[in-house]
Structure 1
Amino acid sequence: MPDVLTQTLLTAYQTHRHRLDGVTLYLACSGGRDSLSLAYACHLLYQAGQIDRPPILLHVHHGWQSANDDWAKLVETWAIQHGFDYQILPVTLPKNSETHARQARYDAMLSVMNDHDVLMLAHHAHDQAETVLMRLIDGAGVQGLSGMKSWQAKFGHDKQVWLWRAWLELSREQITAFAWHHKLPFVDDLTNTDTAYVRGVLRTQILPLLSTINPKAIANIARSSQLLCETAAWQDQAVDEYLVQLSHEQNHLPYQAVMAVQAFERLPNLAQSAVLHHWLQGDEPLPPSQQTTQSVLELMARTDNDHRSQIIWQGAYHRYVICRYDAYLYRYRDDVWQLLTAGVQTDELPNLQHEHQHELGELALVADGRVQIILKCQQAITHAQKVEKTTPIIIGKHSYKAKKLAQQLRLPPWLRGHLWQVVVADGGHWLIAPMMVWRLPDGERVALDNFAPIGRMVYNG
């Protein structure tokens, strides 16, 4: 008769078989009771012929404690004894902190995985309760309080993998009983109960206290997070429909997003905060704080034409800069923002006077020696000239330069140093800035999709 842990895992395998076909399955194994129990449950199901393959064990060795060498050896020995493929992944942490350690572990594991692979995690109901309480303390909204998802996309190293938590509804006591019953040689990480960390305080003090008030407190918190998850899914669906109304040609990029303020203001008032919350979040696992969202709302409502204000948000993956110009709100990934605003001298850019470089159909619009935004044309570039403050540009019947030209084009200040006049082989004359194109001589702004048959812009970062 299968126990509840292996039965729960088998049911999860059967339910999500379509997600597992054609991808490599990994399991994050620290050597602790939770992950070693999950690995052993996989072993039992594989030995019984109920799953087609065991996962590859990934152990991250971060070297915080002298015992880490012993844990890595334990996982290695146990994996060999039970027929698992495994990898030991050493990492160096810049800081001894929960956040840095967690991100370093994910980075190390993602580095050996391929796109759409699946990583099994042994998180359970107690972990879920701790996560929800931590986010509650931080003032999270519906999305954050919905807790960890049983299936969650994770982005990194230019790929997307899936995190799979099959045991979220099981308790720590059930896993402990399973580990003792099967005599698993797990290790106890003392940092898990270290009250120097928030999670340690919750685990050793807060959750036990809540359980004395209500013995079902942990299960109830997990249940509430599931209900909020359903609410968040409904909200996401409604927000996605509104985001379609805010679609902008420059949104289809991993490093920037653009929103028309007037289109946003036409949304129902009750929806605006949630829609902005999701728009700012982008591909991050969690949205910014409500305070950050409120600051952006205030920025959008300003009428003083101050285009220098910037709001900084540190996401889990990247740092972002949010700013406004004219009737548009911009969200840039910080590395691109630094590239655009640091500025480069003309003589630091590629020498475009050489004919063979024109024939390549490539032009570095902006570069800082490390990364660059490149215009790639499908036809030869016959002429390329940086537009300086003294360069006159004929638009219609008038000549513009410097600030007047920028105002005519509605070109944001941070892009004005990266404006080029380009002529291609078919005789077409264009003004090009990063992710913006105008046709000459009429000065009509051209959608990037319409410009695609001629060329495209690539961030080489």
Structure 2
Amino acid sequence: MLTPRLIESALESCEASPRQIFLAYSGGVDSHVLLHLCAQDPTMRDRLTAVHVHHGLQIQADAWAEHAEATARDLGVNFLLFRVDAHPKSGESPEEAARNARYAALKSVLAPGDALLVAQHQDDQLETVLLQLLRGGGLLGLAGMPASLPFGRGALLRPFLPVRKQLIDDYAAAHRLHWVEDPSNNDSVYDRNFLRRQVLPLLKQRWPSCAQTVARAAGHCAEAHALLVDMAAESFGEVCQESDNTLSIERLNAFDLPRRQLIIRHWFRRMGLKMPSQAFLNRLFEQVIGAGMHGDPVLYGQGCQIRRYRDRLYCLKDDHDEARQDIAWPKDWEAITIGKRLTLSCVRSMAGIPEAVWRQAVVTVRFRRGGEKIPLPGRQGRHSLKKLYQETGIPPWQREAMPLIYLDGKLAAVADLWISAEFYREDQCDCIRFALRRD
């Protein structure tokens, strides 16, 4: 039997009682039942907002939005409508595009301490796990949907996850609820609909409790995945260099292949990238790690580039390469932005470029054109940047992006690495150095 206590129990799983409760309300039967249950409890209703996302993909979309607003009003619940562009971009499926647009809208409403309720249930879990199995998903995929997870600045909760679909339908009928039907749910061209309409009825005929047993198996997979994540984090700490998030290839190769793959997947997870496929991992080990110390291989995919330099493995965003143009550093500015990912700042120091010299000069940031040399404090002669980069182990693709700071046309500093002996002073109170931050 469905009661508000089910939702209260889900809310109690949060670290603190949510200040505001948002509910993803499509107008379909599942989210309608969830909204109706929440509205029965005054302590929830006073904090509750029904959020309807208007995808604009169906001719009935305007009518659905009107129905959602009217239902929320009748139940005494706050209402919020989002209109989104859910048309697929290059490389996106229609389902993925709609989901991404919907999740982006829902995330935007959450403040820290808020909760979002969604109405996915036990039968949805069954479909999710079977789809992951048919697509060759790993443990994380076979774990299905978690009952709760961080979402935007708040948390996403699935209070119906242990609930059979039939119980939801029975509740809707008993309370004479009126909901909308999305005709796309009947289109078996979509994998999930094909499973729901063609496959699951046969499975349930033979195994009536398959939703419960698959949910239990998903729980086992979730537990196993959590253990692997802990193991991966421990091994990752032995391989990763925190300062630049690179991996030591020598230390990585000291592990057996399954552990190496686990470490790479953990690396991707930390960077917020999609999990690499097995084929991608195979290419990474063969083409990049297997290229040898002096190669410069590049592997593209997953929205990033994987490269190696000497013993280090690097993961770079695909958009890291940008046109390099001279930048005039405005007077009295403490920092400038370079492209999308770099910020160059002045830092007060007891040694460096005297601030008076800095303030009086015309400051320009340029990029490497070849042949640049710089004298360094405590070293004889002038040194080519090419040799200095090699000595320091700066990867080739980073060298072109290193900002060169010129004062009145003279090279005064190279990013946060070196200051020219011509400008460098010690034991002065008012000097500056530079800090380079990569986002």
Task: Provide TM-score, normalisation by structure 1.
Answer: 0.80
Do structure 1's residue 325 and structure 2's residue 323 form an aligned pair?
Answer: no
CA displacement at 1:119 relative to structure 2: 1.1
| Mapping of residues 250-399 of structure 1, within 5 Å | 250-251=243-244, 257-267=245-255, 269-282=257-270, 284=272, 287-298=275-286, 299-303=288-292, 305-313=294-302, 319-335=303-319, 337=320, 341-346=321-326, 350-352=327-329, 356=331, 359-364=332-337, 366-367=338-339, 371=340, 373-379=342-348, 382=358, 386=366, 387-394=368-375, 396-397=379-380, 399=382
1:43·1:54 contact (CA, 8 Å) conserved in 2?
no
CA displacement at 1:98 relative to structure 2: 0.6
CA–CA distance in structure 2, aligned partners of residues 440 and 410 of structure 1: 18
2:24·2:118 contact (CA, 8 Å) conserved in 1?
yes
1:311·1:323 contact (CA, 8 Å) conserved in 2?
no
Match of 1:16 among 13, 38, 42: 13
Read off the aligned partner of 2:117 and give its amino acid letter. Answer: M
Task: Provide TM-score, normalisation by structure 2.
Answer: 0.84
Do structure 1's residue 39 and structure 2's residue 35 form an aligned pair?
Answer: yes
Q: Which residue of structure 2 lines up, in the alignment, with residue 241 of structure 1? A: 234
List runs of 5+ in structure 1 lacking aligned partners. 252-256, 314-318, 443-452
Read off the aligned partner of 2:397 and give its amino acid letter. Answer: W
2:143·2:219 contact (CA, 8 Å) conserved in 1?
yes
CA–CA distance in structure 1, aligned partners of residues 420 and 404 of structure 2: 11
CA displacement at 1:294 relative to structure 2: 2.6
Read off the aligned partner of 2:335 and give its amino acid letter. Answer: E
Secondary structure at 1:18's aligned position in 2?
coil
CA displacement at 1:458 relative to structure 2: 4.5
CA–CA distance in structure 2, aligned partners of residues 172 and 285 of structure 1: 33
Do structure 1's residue 170 and structure 2's residue 163 form an aligned pair?
Answer: yes
Which has the larger Rg?
A: 2
CA displacement at 1:94 relative to structure 2: 2.4
CA–CA distance in structure 1, aligned partners of residues 184 and 16 of structure 2: 34
Q: Which residue of structure 2 lines up, in the alignment, with residue 98 of structure 1? A: 95
CA displacement at 1:141 relative to structure 2: 0.7
CA displacement at 1:86 relative to structure 2: 0.9
Read off the aligned partner of 1:417 and give its amino acid letter. Answer: E
Q: Which residue of structure 2 lines up, in the alignment, with residue 187 of structure 1? A: 180
Do structure 1's residue 88 and structure 2's residue 77 form an aligned pair?
Answer: no
Inter-CA distance 265–170: structure 2 relative to 1 (3 Å threshold)? same
C-alpha offsets along residues 91-122 of structure 1, whole Å, 9 cap, x if unaligned? 12223711100111111222233345321110
Read off the aligned partner of 2:333 and give its amino acid letter. Answer: L
Inter-CA distance 363–224: structure 2 relative to 1 (3 Å threshold)? same
List runs of 5+ in structure 2 lacking aligned partners. 349-354, 422-431
Q: Which residue of structure 2 lines up, in the alignment, with residue 112 of structure 1? A: 109
CA displacement at 1:304 relative to structure 2: 6.3
Percent of aligned pairs with the same amino acid = 25
Secondary structure at 1:329's aligned position in 2?
strand
Secondary structure at 2:162's aligned position in 1?
coil
CA displacement at 1:422 relative to structure 2: 4.8
CA displacement at 1:417 relative to structure 2: 1.7
Read off the aligned partner of 1:144 and give its amino acid letter. Answer: G
Q: Which residue of structure 1 lines up, in the alignment, with residue 150 of structure 2? A: 153
2:298·2:305 contact (CA, 8 Å) conserved in 1?
no
Read off the aligned partner of 2:267 and give its amino acid letter. Answer: W
Q: Which moved more, 1:129-138 or 1:409-418?
A: 409-418
- Count matched residues: 406
CA displacement at 1:4 relative to structure 2: 3.4
Match of 1:126 among 114, 123, 126: 123
CA–CA distance in structure 2, aligned partners of residues 285 and 118 of structure 1: 25
CA–CA distance in structure 2, aligned partners of residues 52 and 241 of structure 1: 44
Secondary structure at 1:411's aligned position in 2?
coil
Do structure 1's residue 407 and structure 2's residue 390 form an aligned pair?
Answer: yes
CA displacement at 1:262 relative to structure 2: 2.4
Cα RMSD, aligned residues only = 2.8
Inter-CA distance 67–169: structure 2 relative to 1 (3 Å threshold)? same
CA displacement at 1:79 relative to structure 2: 0.5
Do structure 1's residue 420 and structure 2's residue 400 form an aligned pair?
Answer: no
CA–CA distance in structure 2, aligned partners of residues 52 and 67 of structure 1: 28
